[in-house]
């Protein structure tokens, strides 16, 4: 009985090919849109999270001034000192590495090539905290950290701009008026989540930076590693109370520095992309709903057209429930076919879009199954009204219908 | 006028008592049937005649369990139809009644075999059984070679024979025919009528046939004429047999 209803449904679809295609199309678009949106959304979330964790492991960042709020106003505050760094290193047990940094825009020159870039003065710990590998040459030694000699490690972009395909190791570049020997090149980190090129920089030892470039021993930003991801929050509050004490802030005063926790940032960004995904999926789901209304519309037309057939079936002994089942199965077959095609198109579209948008393709079997089940449900829901109309027909009236 | 004394005492299959069928309500109410009494025995072949609007189609719809009387009682083989709901009457049609219509009412773009199988589908008969029984029924009406053809590929007479095969494939106890020859020429009409007579005499199938052609009514054993919702005459014909 079910089997023959299925056969009848397929035959009915074949009978009016163009109409069937148009009906199915609504569901195809709806399911494809939902699957593509959810798949791309998960891909984007994965990309953002991995981008952020590429900034460094268990990283905390201390910056001076108040935290930029909605208005973007930040009040300048005293820079951090070498003594602050020593205190952070010795007094907080949950911190494993501390990298003080200072930076300045400067012109890097190799022969006749100029490149405006960001010069960062820091210590060897910077590479540890930011989880950054020196791909060519070497990093600084701790003796070089303290000696004040002008050495530098180039970011991948800076190296490419200044040296092209040549090896820069052992060559000298000029930073401002200072000559500086290149001892290493960093591996590429690519673009940050916020779109800036993380590889466009030159790193020099902090001491040398203070003496030869900045001319003052200020530390603007401190990068720290917590001993594990579990203690970042604890480390953060320890840092705040230590720095408040060292900077002699009265109890009522606000912090004149702020600590950012990478885990927090990750969570915020994940939540944001999650909301975006949900929002886009909801819009896509609306198109699935519209597809369902298309099915209902065509089923109503079909029921009217086939009034006589319904009359014949009723006369020879079909009950209302037999007719109801027949039309429901037709609706579900239409929507399920749409669901399968939509699934394929949605996944294909997601693969293409993922490539174009440079996000990873994440296959979510749960969503695919859900979209298919949902499309069948749309068939049942929107098929029910026309099917019930068919089932309630009076056989005498239906037989007389021309 | 009714000549029943010479008949052996037969069992009644259809009993209508004080049956009225009223369409509409209040002032607009029209009685298509006005308190009629009618008994049809098992194995009888009854022609129902009358001009349009006389109530013959209404009677046929009630006898065929497509409709219910507004007042009065109808019992088919002892079952009181008035107490049955739509689904229960559908079951009765499924298991006890076969229909033939003027317009043949075959499913378009569906093969003859599948059309004949349709009532068996609703009886939940297995696919193989269905094929076998439908083929047998088509063979009986002489269309064994045309089972793959759709109604559009068959002549009117052939279509009506497919419809007859569909009606008898379930071995019903009652065959209801609504102007079965209305769309056919004389030759085809007589073919169909001979076939109905054979079903009646050989299988003892009870047939109720609505017609407005006296030539066709002449094939029946009994002719009932309707006028204005009443039975005008009820004549039993003697020794009228198939030519």
The 10s digit of each residue's pLDDT in A21-63 is 888 998 999 999 989 988 988 888 888 877 777 666 688 999 8
Give dist(CA B224, CA B212) in Å, integer.
11
Give dist(CA A82, CA A96) in Å, integer.
17
Closest chain B C-alpha to A299 CA, distance in angstroms? 18
Query: Among B106, B101, B80, which residue's Cα sits nearest to residue B92?
Result: B80
List % helix, strand, coil for chain A (3-state, nearest 5): 55, 20, 25
Strand partners, A201: A118
- Is residue A147 over pLDDT 90? no
Chain A CA closest to residue B108: A309
Predicted pLDDT of residue A69: 58
Place of tokens 């909605």: A70
Strand partners, A105: A118
List Cα–Cα distances, B100 to A31, B210, B219, in angstroms: 46, 10, 16
Give dist(CA A65, CA A350) in Å, integer.
43
**What does chain B look like in DSSP terms, one character per residue?**
----TTS--PPEEEEEEEEEEEES-GGG-EEEEEEEEEEEETT-EEEEE--TTSSHHHHHHHHTTSS--SEEEEEETTEEGGG--HHHHHHHHHHHEEEE-TT--PPTTS-HHHHHHHHHHHTT--HHHHHHHHHHHHHHTT-GGGTT--GGGS-HHHHHHHHHHHHHTT--SEEEEESTTTTS-HHHHHHHHHHHHHHHHHH--EEEEE-S-HHHHTTSSEEEEEETTEEEEEEE--S----
Say if CB A52 and CB A265 are below 8 A apart: yes
Predicted pLDDT of residue A322: 92
| Average pLDDT of the residues of chain A | 87
Structure-derived torsion over alpha carbons of residues A24, A27, A28, A31, reported in degrees to the nearest 10: -160
Give dist(CA B226, CA B231) in Å, integer.
5
- Is residue A137 over pLDDT 80? yes
Give dist(CA B162, CA B111) in Å, integer.
10
- Please report which confidence band the pLDDT of residue A230 belongs to, taking 50, 70 and 90 as the band edges: confident
Grouped pLDDT means (10 residues each) for chain B, 243 residues: 52 92 88 93 94 90 93 93 92 94 89 94 91 94 92 93 94 94 90 93 94 92 94 81 46
Query: Among A214, A244, A220, which residue's Cα sits nearest to residue A63?
Result: A220
Give dist(CA B14, CA B9) in Å, integer.
15
- The H helix count followed by the E strand count for chain B is 7, 10
Say if CB A354 and CB A40 are below 8 A apart: yes
Predicted pLDDT of residue A184: 92
Give dist(CA A134, CA A102) in Å, integer.
20
List Cα–Cα distances, B38 to A21, B56, B229, in angstroms: 54, 12, 13
- Inter-chain touch B122–A395, beta carbons under 8 Å: no
Pairing of strands A134-137, B222-227: unpaired
Tell me the HSE value of A397 on the side-chain side, using a 13 A CA sphere: 6
Pairing of strands B174-178, A221-226: unpaired
Burial of A172 (0-12, 13-18, 19+ CB in 10 A): middle
Q: Which residues of A touch B118 (CB under 8 A)?
A: 312-313, 316
DSSP summary character for residue B78: T
Strand partners, B225: B49, B233
Q: Which residues of A touch B66 (CB under 8 A)?
A: 315, 395-396
Predicted pLDDT of residue B74: 95
Give dist(CA A7, CA A289) in Å, integer.
26
Question: For residue A344, what are its two tokens?
Answer: 């394929």
Question: For residue B141, what are its two tokens?
Answer: 């009406």
Q: What is the ipTM of this complex?
A: 0.91
Chain B CA closest to residue A326: B122
- Is residue A229 over pLDDT 80? no
Chain B CA closest to residue A4: B121
What pLDDT, in 10s, does the model give residues A155-178?
Answer: 999 999 999 888 899 999 999 888
Pairing of strands B206-210, B174-178: parallel
Give dist(CA B169, CA B182) in Å, integer.
23
What pLDDT, in 10s, does the model give residues A55-95?
Answer: 666 889 998 887 665 555 555 788 898 899 999 989 998 88
pTM over 0.80: no
Give dist(CA A123, CA A206) in Å, integer.
6
Among B90, B99, B118, the residue with its CB nearest the CB of A319 is: B90
For chains A and B, CB pairs below 8 A equal 56
Is A376 in a helix, a strand, or coil? helix
Give residues with Cβ within 8 angstroms of A105, minimum separation 6.
Answer: A116, A117, A118, A119
- Is residue A232 over pLDDT 90? no
Of A4 and B43, the one with more pLDDT? B43
- Please report which confidence band the pLDDT of residue A194 belongs to, taking 50, 70 and 90 as the band edges: low
- Inter-chain touch B119–A317, beta carbons under 8 Å: yes
- Inter-chain touch B87–A320, beta carbons under 8 Å: yes
Closest chain B C-alpha to A313 CA, distance in angstroms? 8
Query: Among B61, B68, B81, B93, which residue's Cα sits nearest to residue B210?
Result: B61
CA A350 to chain centroid, in Å, comes to 14
């Amino acid at each position: 009985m079910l089997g023959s209803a299925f056969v009848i449904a397929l035959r009915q679809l074949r009978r009016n090919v163009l109409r069937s295609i148009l009906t199915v199309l609504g569901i195809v678009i709806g399911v494809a849109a939902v699957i593509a949106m959810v798949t791309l959304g998960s891909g984007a979330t994965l990309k953002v999270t991995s981008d952020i964790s590429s900034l460094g492991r268990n990283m905390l960042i201390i910056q001076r001034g108040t935290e930029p709020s909605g208005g973007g106003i930040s009040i300048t505050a005293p820079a951090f000192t070498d003594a602050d760094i020593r205190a952070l290193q010795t007094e907080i047990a949950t911190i494993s590495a501390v990298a003080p940094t200072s930076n300045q825009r400067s012109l890097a020159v190799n022969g006749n090539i100029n490149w405006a870039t960001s010069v960062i003065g820091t210590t060897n710990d910077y590479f540890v905290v930011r989880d950054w590998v020196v791909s060519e040459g070497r990093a600084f030694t701790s003796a070089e950290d303290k000696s004040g000699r002008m050495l530098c490690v180039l970011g991948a972009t800076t190296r490419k701009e200044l040296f092209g395909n040549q090896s820069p190791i052992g060559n000298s570049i000029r930073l401002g008026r200072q000559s500086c020997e290149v001892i290493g090149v960093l591996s590429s980190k690519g673009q940050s989540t916020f779109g800036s090129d993380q590889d466009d920089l030159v790193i020099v030892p902090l001491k040398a930076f203070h003496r030869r470039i900045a001319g003052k021993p200020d530390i603007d930003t401190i990068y720290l590693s917590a001993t594990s991801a579990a203690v970042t929050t604890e480390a953060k509050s320890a840092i705040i109370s230590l720095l408040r004490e060292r900077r002699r802030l009265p109890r009522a005063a606000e912090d004149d520095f702020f600590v950012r926790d990478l885990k927090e940032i990750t969570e915020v960004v994940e939540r944001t992309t999650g909301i975006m995904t949900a929002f886009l999926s909801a819009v896509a789901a609306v198109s699935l709903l519209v597809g369902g209304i298309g099915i209902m519309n065509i089923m109503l037309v079909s029921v009217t057209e086939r009034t006589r057939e319904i009359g014949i079936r009723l006369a020879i002994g079909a009950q209302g429930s037999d007719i109801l089942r027949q039309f429901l199965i037709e609706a579900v077959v239409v929507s399920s076919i749409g669901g399968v095609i939509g699934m394929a198109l949605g996944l294909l579209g997601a693969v293409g879009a993922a490539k174009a948008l440079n996000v990873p393709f994440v296959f979510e079997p749960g969503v695919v199954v859900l979209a298919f089940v949902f499309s069948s449900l749309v068939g049942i829901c929107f098929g029910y009204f026309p099917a019930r109309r068919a089932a309630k027909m009076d056989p005498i009236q239906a037989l007389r219908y021309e | 006028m009714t000549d029943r004394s010479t008949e052996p005492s037969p069992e009644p299959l259809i009993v209508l008592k004080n049956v009225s069928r009223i369409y509409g309500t209040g002032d607009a109410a029209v009685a298509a049937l006005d308190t009629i009494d009618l008994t049809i025995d098992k194995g009888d072949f009854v022609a129902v005649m009358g001009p349009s609007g006389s109530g013959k189609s209404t009677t046929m719809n009630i006898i065929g369990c497509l409709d219910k009387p507004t007042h009065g009682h109808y019992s088919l083989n002892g079952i009181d139809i008035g107490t049955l709901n739509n689904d229960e009457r559908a079951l009765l049609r499924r298991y006890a009644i076969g229909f033939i219509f003027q317009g043949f009412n075959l499913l378009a773009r569906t093969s003859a075999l599948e059309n004949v199988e349709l009532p068996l589908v609703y009886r939940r008969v297995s696919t193989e059984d269905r094929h076998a029984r439908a083929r047998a029924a088509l063979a009986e009406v002489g269309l064994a070679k045309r089972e793959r053809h759709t109604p559009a590929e068959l002549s009117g007479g052939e279509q009506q024979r497919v419809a007859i095969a569909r009606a008898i494939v379930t071995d019903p106890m009652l065959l209801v025919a609504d102007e079965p020859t209305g769309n056919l020429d004389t030759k085809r009409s007589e073919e169909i009528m001979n076939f109905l007579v054979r079903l009646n005499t050989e299988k003892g199938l009870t047939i109720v046939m609505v017609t407005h052609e006296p030539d066709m009514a002449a094939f029946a054993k009994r002719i009932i004429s309707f006028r204005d919702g009443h039975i005008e005459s009820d004549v039993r014909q003697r020794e009228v047999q198939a030519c």
